[in-house]
Structure 1
Amino acid sequence: MASPGYALSRSVKEGGIAFKLAHGEDVFDFLSLNSELNSIFNQGMASITTTTMDAIISSYRNGFLGLKGTVVDVGGGIGVAISEIVKAYPHLKGINFDLPHVISNAPPYDGVTHVAGDMFNAIPPAETIFMKTIVTLVFPFQTILHSWNDDDCVKILQNCRKAIPKETGKVIMVEIILDRTEDDPFNDIRVTSDLAMLCFSSGRERNEREWEKLLGKSGFCHYNIVKIPTLFSII
């Protein structure tokens, strides 16, 4: 999967996504057409999710305790993240939402329903929506906001807005926020991830002002940032 890196200079000169120039398909279509690689990708995402969810759940403990009803994990892969949330907070019901070729490989979990669909079309209704980015060396992302350009992110967030109650609904995003603080040990990795996005998708990492702009365009007037001891922050 190093081929997109060799196509990066061509991508910069000619336009287009390096991964598609190297393989003839965008990364998600490529995975859907290659079942063995799709399985490896899903298992890799699941393994990394397991190690990061402890930090997310413990750092956002009061936030999860305050939720009610159903939580939809948008782009949730084979369901590891939402299963960990429901296990830690059994008063919640979980929906794992992802593309059909991903959901077809998802195992059963107590308290979790798997739903196949496309986040660009519609998202299952729920009280809360959860979206989490994963970064790896081979695939620097899972199918959430940093994988997409600004216009696509607005479409996804607008669908999130439609899926939750107008007054009480909540969207929880776990994303990289580019931070210029010199003493942050994860800064270099965040920048590396931003560069890697040039190879694999039309997306990129964003700073707080850029996230604020996207949220505003999507109809979200208020947000909070919770720092956690990982690459990511909770928005």
Structure 2
Amino acid sequence: MATKPKLKEQEEEAMLLQGQADILHYTYNFVESMALKCAVELGIADIINSQGQPLTVHQITEKIASPAADIDNLSRLMRFLVQKNLFEATTDTKSGDLLYGLTYSSKWLLRSEEQTLAPLVRLATLPSHVASWLCLSQCIKDGGSGFEKANGFSLYDERSGNQRSCFDEAMACISRIVMKAILSNYRDVFDGVGSIVDVGGGIGISVAEIVKSHPHIRGINFDLPDVVATAPTYPGVTHLGGDMFNVIPNGDVIFMKAILHNWSDEKCVTILKNCRRAIHERKGKIIIVDGVLQPDGDRKMDTVVQRYDLTMMAQTPSGKERTEAEWKKLLSEGGFGRHEIIKIPSFLALIEAYPE
């Protein structure tokens, strides 16, 4: 009779031990981010890639632009990154030295590649961005942006000089990745389109990729005047400065990637109504590329979108990710009674919406 209570105690002890491990894991989860930041800043993936073969820690150290580079510290970093599958380690059969090579993960850290996440790593780990997370509890207590609470200015005010360049490069790298996923698999969403307006298009990467893939389309990259002033020239693309809360240029299609998640429902409705006025009453449509929360769907992808949801909480006054039901309500209030959500090979989804 005493066996059952003892088993119950053992189960509870095992669960408590696992709970302890979980809390320690989440407490120090930032270590992965900082190690990743370090690898990008040192250009470790680029160093290995430039040699075309796995390298020893001594060979990597020689390529780091510092005469005082610490081999022991680098060895410890590489051991951790290998354990996280960001790099791989093999043993040289002749010397017995460890050789460090790239994995499918570290290939995304190559700064020389068009398809890279290195700029996003740099942006997410900027001191001003990390500081916003330290104010998350204040966001819940008082509302508002953790970014502003931590830094004394908004995320958008930060966009000057080096910070602006970092922001633009990070947004551009995401645009290239997402647009490749869309244009490789869903080219037909742009069939029959004569003109497209990319609202909040930054320096114009997304619309440039669309026009490159569909040369018959006339592209307009629409963003704030100071943003488009720094945009490079692309064939078939016109840069136009303005404010999406006032008026949006006319086009067959209005395209918005990772824009609406920055704003409250009220402001999103204002943007959507301006989109509604900018397209043809019967033939026009909008294409939204944004996160869709899926609590009952793909758990791995939903975790990514939920992280972005908390990022919006930490860094913007009212931004958030939305479920399909929330998107439907928002679109309806903005004048778009029909919509279709298309899953793409990305953490974002493609939403086609049509006027009522």
- 1:35 Cα offset (Å): 2.2
User: Given residue 192 of structure 1, which amino acid in structure 2 is its aligned partner?
Assistant: R
Moved over 6 A (4+): none
Which residue number corresponds to residue 140 of structure 1?
none
Which residue number corresponds to residue 146 of structure 1?
261
- 1:187 Cα offset (Å): 1.7
Which residue number corresponds to residue 230 of structure 1?
346
Give the number of equivalent residue pairs: 222
Which residue number corresponds to residue 155 of structure 1?
270
User: Given residue 186 of structure 1, which amino acid in structure 2 is its aligned partner?
Assistant: M
- Which of 9, 13, 18 in structure 1 is aligned with 2:141? 13
- TM value normalised by structure 2: 0.61
- TM value normalised by structure 1: 0.91
Please tell me the root mean square deviation across aligned C-alpha atoms, in Å.
Answer: 1.2
List gaps (5 residues or longer) in structure 2.
1-128, 352-356
Mapped partners of 1:182, 1:205: distance in 2: 15
Following superposition of structure 1 onto structure 2, how do residues 44-59 of structure 1 map, counting pairs within 5 Å? 44-59=170-185
Mapped partners of 1:210, 1:61: distance in 2: 27
SS in 1 for 2:322: coil
- 1:182 Cα offset (Å): 4.7
Mapped partners of 2:145, 2:300: distance in 1: 29
Mapped partners of 2:332, 2:307: distance in 1: 27
- Which of 165, 172, 175 in structure 1 is aligned with 2:280? 165
- Which of 172, 176, 198 in structure 1 is aligned with 2:313? 198
Q: Percent identity?
A: 46
SS in 2 for 1:226: strand
Which residue number corresponds to residue 177 of structure 1?
292
Q: Which of the pair is proportionally richer in helix?
A: 2
Following superposition of structure 1 onto structure 2, how do residues 103-118 of structure 1 map, counting pairs within 5 Å? 103-118=228-243
Which residue number corresponds to residue 137 of structure 1?
none
- 1:101 Cα offset (Å): 1.9
- 1:59 Cα offset (Å): 2.7
- Which of 180, 191, 195 in structure 2 is aligned with 1:70? 195
Which residue number corresponds to residue 17 of structure 2?
none
Q: Does 1:61 align with 2:187?
A: yes
Flag the structure with more relative contact order, 1 or 2, with Cα contacts below 8 A and sequence separation at least 6: 1
SS in 2 for 1:114: strand
Q: Deviations over 1:103-154 (max 9, x none)?
A: 1110000000000111111111111100111xxxxxxxxxx00000100100
Mapped partners of 1:168, 1:109: distance in 2: 27
- 1:167 Cα offset (Å): 1.3
List gaps (5 residues or longer) in structure 1.
134-143
Q: Deviations over 1:150-193 (max 9, x none)?
A: 00100110110011111111100011110124544312111111
Which residue number corresponds to residue 104 of structure 2?
none
Q: Does 1:214 align with 2:330?
A: yes
Mapped partners of 1:89, 1:146: distance in 2: 27
Mapped partners of 1:107, 1:37: distance in 2: 18
Which residue number corresponds to residue 139 of structure 1?
none
- Which of 210, 217, 221 in structure 2 is aligned with 1:92? 217
Change (3 A) 1:113 1:97: same
Deviation larger for 8-17 or 156-165: 8-17
- Structure with max Cα Rg: 2
SS in 1 for 2:345: coil
User: Given residue 170 of structure 1, which amino acid in structure 2 is its aligned partner?
Assistant: K
Change (3 A) 1:184 1:9: closer
